[in-house]
A = this chain, B = another copy of it.
Amino acid sequence: MRCEVIAVGTELLLGQIVDTNSAWMGEQLALAGIDSHYQTKVGDNLERIVSCIRLALERSDAVIMCGGLGPTQDDITREAIAEVMGVGLIRRPEIGERIRAMFAARGREMPDNNLRQADVPEGATVMAEMPGTAPGLICPIGDKVVYAVPGVPYEMHEMLTGTVLPDLQRRAGVAAVIKSRVLRTWGQSESGLAEMLGERIVELDGAGNPTLAFQASGIEGIKVRITAKAADADKAEAMLAEEEVRVRSVLGDLVFGVDDDTMESVVLDMLRQRGLSLGVAESLTGGLMGARFTSVPGASDVFRGGVVCYASDVKFSLLGVPPGPVVSAQAAQAMAEGARRVLGADVALATTGVAGPTEQEGQPVGTVFLGLAMSDASEAQQVQLPGDRQRVRQYAVISAVNLLRRRLLGA
């Protein structure tokens, strides 16, 4: 079963919007075991959209069209599909009423234009999910199929997960349920993980189910994705759980979380469970560490605040760092102790170092010291971080948060 993706919209070609939808759909198709060999972007032009659909149907069994389902005259995906199907558009009053009700729920009157969204190619069916005003369409063409979903990401996600992927799997004769789970790791390279898991990967390659795959996500570490195929969802979940135990037994505390966990959400949860509050002292990271922790809703019951001590004398005056080199282990540790004291926090993290573009205190770009102060002990750790100014700063933050995570685990 092969499925192509066609993203529709002149704004995509002009580079006014980056097409992240196609990347997401490509990932989902791969996870569902559907091959996808081409992705195309085309503007809001009827003839060209039609030619793209025809070509995709020659090369593949199914096509997902994304975008061009809005209410304006530019939105012509419906017309293009109808032309390829050789049918007309039929206005479906019940969809019109549904759209009108959505507007009414927000206290607004529906502009007449929006009735265009109730136009459906003859012979097409409407998807059950309809989170916005654009209905998703399933349009059979011979034994092939064209799906149309809106370009609004959350609407598209809901329809792809709820209708398109299951329908594609049914057409592909995939009786099985495919599920996946991501183990988030930090602190080891992709090749390092592959080596650690080498024996298990060889075993799995033979059986082919479940599978393990690695996905690099920059400063956020490497994702290890377990994918399992089974007769039903419970069996697939059981396989995932079993494989997770196996992988964790090899990787240990390199695994910091699962699926949507982030390093900061995990550490905030650990602190919350232990009844500990947190403060930070930041030099080269300039506020990034505080910003990361406070990006998590509900951070306020753990995170008390921070001191951004960019100028050296702010380190001395506000945090009580002893005079001397500020790119040093001593300074990092004193910053953490000072932050713990002035913020009234149980635990404090600190960063100091050289973000670049030039060296500082004779230390090269990327030299970073992390400080950690807890009730019973404080410490500092030196790390050498790669990349430019922004990467050094971001690596410094996640390295510090990971240091705290490992200490909370007792490592």
Contacts and interface: CB of A to CB of B under 8 A. Distances in A.
A297 B389 contact: yes
Given A38-B41, A305-B310, 11 more contacts: A13-B39, A14-B27, A15-B23, A15-B28, A18-B19, A38-B48, A280-B287, A285-B291, A285-B294, A294-B393, A304-B310
Secondary structure class of chain A's binding surface, majority of residues: mixed
A189 interface: no
A308 B306 contact: yes
Interface string A184-218: 00000000000000000000000000000001100
In the complex, which range does the number of interface residues on chain A fall in? Answer: 35 or more
Interface in A3-61: 12-20, 22-28, 30, 36-43, 45, 48, 52, 55
B300 A291 contact: no
A384 interface: no
A36 B299 CA distance: 47
A39 B37 contact: no
5 tightest CB-CB pairs across the interface, nearest first?
Answer: A286-B294, A287-B290, A15-B27, A287-B287, A306-B308
Pick the most buried of A16, A43, A309: most chain B CB atoms within 10 A of its CB.
A16
Contacts of A297: 356-357, 389
A238 interface: no
B19 A24 contact: no
Interface in A295-334: 295, 297, 299-300, 303-311, 313-314, 317-318
Given A30-B15, A357-B297, A311 B318 contact: no
A42 B309 CA distance: 49
A342 B356 CA distance: 27
**Identical copies in the complex:** 2
Contacts of A18: 18-20, 23
Contact of A308 (B25, B26, B48, B290): B290
A41 B271 CA distance: 45
B310 A308 contact: no
A393 B287 CA distance: 13
A390 B291 CA distance: 10
28 contacts: A12-B23, A13-B26, A13-B38, A13-B39, A15-B25, A15-B30, A16-B215, A17-B23, A18-B20, A37-B43, A285-B294, A286-B287, A286-B293, A287-B288, A287-B289, A287-B291, A291-B291, A291-B393, A294-B355, A303-B311, A304-B310, A305-B309, A305-B318, A306-B306, A306-B310, A314-B343, A318-B342, A318-B343
Nearest to A397: B291
Given A295-B390, A308-B287, A37 B45 contact: yes
B295 A303 contact: no
A132 interface: no
A318 B311 CA distance: 18
